[in-house]
């Protein structure tokens, strides 16, 4: 674990500049420490350690993805969101499920489960593309919406398929009623209650006694884990609860410090890296065993179904040709797919082990194809000198006053969230108001001088 974190930190700048798929790096590290390398670690498919790491990773990914969703953007671009989450996710899942049943010979419930898992766009691999400065705004929005929200579509399918494939009585009316209660009420309900209470308590304690910044950063983890545990305690889905809690926090548009999201995302990324190393020791390479025309045909369908569905669906979405091509092409499969197919394995569902090898093959091919394409497309900007990149630093009020006293040209930007700005009694003199969601684009539209000091404040 220590080596993984050290390597991740030391190589983070190189990975970003080269647009190297981080996933590939840590799968390779797993292979080095695994039985085919140094023989230090080996995780079996049903390993309790792997189950713990994977569960924590999935909880944090679902929560942080949901918290990061801009609900105003979803409402504004509802048609685009419906396209990427409807045809883009549901029809993709159906096509992959049909291929899983027809080509791999899986029973309907397991085929549906595999189709849903492989319809999930991986947020970790998409993040490398979203960080690129040359990505069109509409493509960035569509991919962010899809990677952040499509688990809301596929996770219930996975859970229902698990219930169908599970023990006797799963087809009875009473069992279906219980399943609907757990999926639609108990899990999301527990998550919404925890999310609402968390926001109310945070804002109340801030006003009364204040909260230390370092502990506010830990608060994100507490909300995610409390939502998961609350739902599991009432026999609901903890994963749906974690996602619902994140959406609830996002819906309240609370004034969260950067540390709240930054620490939650950093912790989630740490667990993701550990999970990839655990997969890379041995089990993910099972996808390369027993290669034959059936598995390769299925992998081709799993990787091509999304593009086949989205290309005609986005024809009348009002997107630029380049954005349409990027959205259609870039739908990587990664850790989210692996974690979803592990849920029935951890639950002891009969036949679930058969799903991992084809999923692993699709993920490995996606890392090579989508990750390689990202590296090639990023070569033109990867070597950008440090002087040409914008600098983002924290600055204190005393340092700001010192700059002004020296006669430096300083422009203040008020980037508080809308509710905080509407309720505020004070405003910095001469500050330019701009939304925190599109501050860089708005600054470019206003042609703010690039060589001046741009100082943004959010509280």
Report the pLDDT value the prediction gives residue 131, as an integer from 0 to 100. 64
Work out the percent of the chain whose per-residue pLDDT is above 70.
Answer: 86
pTM of the model: 0.73
Quote the pLDDT of residue 438.
Answer: 67
CA distance 89 to 86: 6
Confidence of residue 447 (pLDDT cuts 50, 70, 90): confident
The confidence score (pLDDT) of residue 168 equals 46
pLDDT score recorded for residue 437: 67
CA distances from 96 to 2, 43, 85, 187, 236 (A): 38, 28, 16, 27, 28
Which pLDDT value is given to residue 101? 93
Give the tokens for residue 44: 């079996």
Residue 376: pLDDT over 70? no
Residue predicted with more confidence, 124 or 235: 235
pLDDT of residue 253: 66
Distance between the two ends of the chain, CA-based, in angstroms? 36
Identify the band that residue 380 occupies on the pLDDT scale cut at 50, 70 and 90. very low
- The pLDDT score that the predictor gives to residue 99 is 94
Range of 12-21, 186-195, 211-220, 448-457 with top mean pLDDT: 186-195
Query: Which pLDDT score, from 0 to 100, does residue 231 have?
Result: 92
**What is residue 184's predicted lDDT score, i.e. its pLDDT?**
75
pLDDT one-digit tens code per residue, 62-102:
888 788 777 777 777 788 888 888 888 899 999 999 999 99
Residue-level pLDDT at 256: 64
Strand ranges for 125-258 from DSSP E? none
State yes or no: pLDDT of 111 exceeds 90.
yes
In whole angstroms, give the CA distance from residue 213 to residue 256: 10
What pLDDT does residue 110 have?
A: 93
Q: What is the pLDDT at residue 419?
A: 67
405 pLDDT higher than 50: yes
Average pLDDT on 392-406 reads: 79
334 pLDDT higher than 50: yes
Q: If you compute the radius of gyration of the chain from its CA atoms, what whole number of angstroms results?
A: 23
Phi, psi for 370 (deg, rounded to 5)? -70, -40
Mean pLDDT value of segment 144-163: 83
412: nearest Cα among 438, 430, 391, 435: 430
The predicted model gives 152-167 an average pLDDT of 82
Asked whether the beta carbons of 62 and 239 are under 8 A apart, the reply is yes
Q: Which of 343-347, 447-451, 455-459 has the lowest mean pLDDT?
A: 447-451
- Asked if 83 contacts 317 with a C-beta cutoff of 8 angstroms, the reply is yes
Query: Given this model, what pLDDT does residue 361 score?
Result: 92
Mean pLDDT along residues 18-39: 80
Give the chain's mean pLDDT. Answer: 80
- 164-178, 200-214, 282-296: which range is least confident on average? 164-178
Summarised one tens digit per residue, pLDDT across range 235-257 is: 888 888 998 998 898 888 666 66
pLDDT value of residue 383: 37
Residue 1 clears pLDDT 90, i.e. is over it: no
Strand order from edge to edge, sheet including 410-414: 432-433, 410-414, 453-457
Architecture of domain 2-382: Up-down Bundle (1.20)
Domain ranges of the chain: 2-382, 390-457
Residues 6+ apart with CB under 8 A from 402: none
């Amino acid at each position: 674990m220590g080596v993984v974190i050290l390597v991740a930190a030391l190589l983070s700048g190189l990975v970003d500049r080269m647009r190297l798929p981080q996933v590939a790096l840590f799968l390779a590290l797993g292979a080095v420490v695994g039985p085919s390398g140094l023989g230090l670690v080996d995780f079996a498919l049903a390993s309790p350690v792997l189950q713990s790491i994977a569960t924590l990773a999935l909880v944090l990914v679902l929560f942080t993805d949901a918290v990061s969703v801009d609900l105003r953007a979803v409402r504004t671009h509802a048609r685009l969101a419906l396209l990427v989450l409807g045809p883009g996710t549901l029809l993709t899942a159906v096509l992959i499920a049909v291929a899983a049943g027809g080509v791999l010979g899986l029973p309907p419930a397991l085929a549906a489960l595999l189709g849903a898992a492989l319809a999930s766009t991986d947020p970790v691999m998409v993040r490398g593309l979203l960080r690129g400065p040359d990505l069109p705004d509409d493509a960035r929005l569509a991919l962010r919406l899809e990677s952040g929200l499509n688990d809301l579509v596929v996770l219930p399918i996975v859970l229902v398929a698990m219930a169908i494939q599970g023990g006797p009585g799963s087809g009875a009316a009473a069992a279906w009623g219980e399943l609907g209660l757990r999926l639609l009420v108990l899990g999301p309900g527990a998550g919404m209650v925890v999310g609402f209470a968390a926001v109310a308590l945070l804002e109340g304690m801030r006003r009364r006694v204040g909260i230390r910044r370092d502990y506010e950063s830990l608060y994100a983890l507490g909300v995610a884990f409390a939502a998961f545990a609350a739902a599991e305690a009432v026999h609901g889905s903890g994963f749906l609860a974690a996602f619902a809690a994140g959406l609830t926090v996002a819906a309240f548009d609370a004034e969260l410090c950067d540390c709240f999201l930054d620490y939650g995302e950093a912790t989630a990324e740490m667990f993701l890296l550990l999970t990839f190393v655990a997969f890379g020791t041995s089990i993910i390479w099972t996808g390369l065993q027993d290669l034959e025309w059936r598995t390769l045909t299925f992998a081709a369908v799993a990787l091509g179904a999304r593009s086949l569905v989205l290309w005609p669906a986005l024809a009348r979405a009002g997107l630029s040709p380049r954005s349409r091509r990027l959205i259609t092409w870039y739908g990587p499969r990664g850790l989210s797919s692996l974690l979803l197919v592990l849920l029935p394995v951890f639950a002891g569902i009969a036949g679930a082990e058969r799903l991992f090898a084809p999923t692993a093959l699709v993920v490995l091919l996606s890392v090579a194809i989508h990750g390689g394409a990202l590296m090639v497309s990023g070569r033109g900007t990867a070597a950008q000198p440090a002087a040409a990149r914008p600098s983002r630093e924290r600055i204190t009020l005393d340092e700001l006053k010192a700059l002004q006293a020296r006669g430096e040209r300083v422009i203040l930007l008020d980037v508080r969230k809308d509710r905080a700005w509407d309720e505020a009694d004070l405003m910095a003199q001469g500050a330019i108001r701009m939304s925190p969601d599109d501050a860089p684009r708005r600054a470019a539209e206003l042609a703010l001088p690039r060589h001046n000091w741009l100082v943004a404040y959010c509280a």
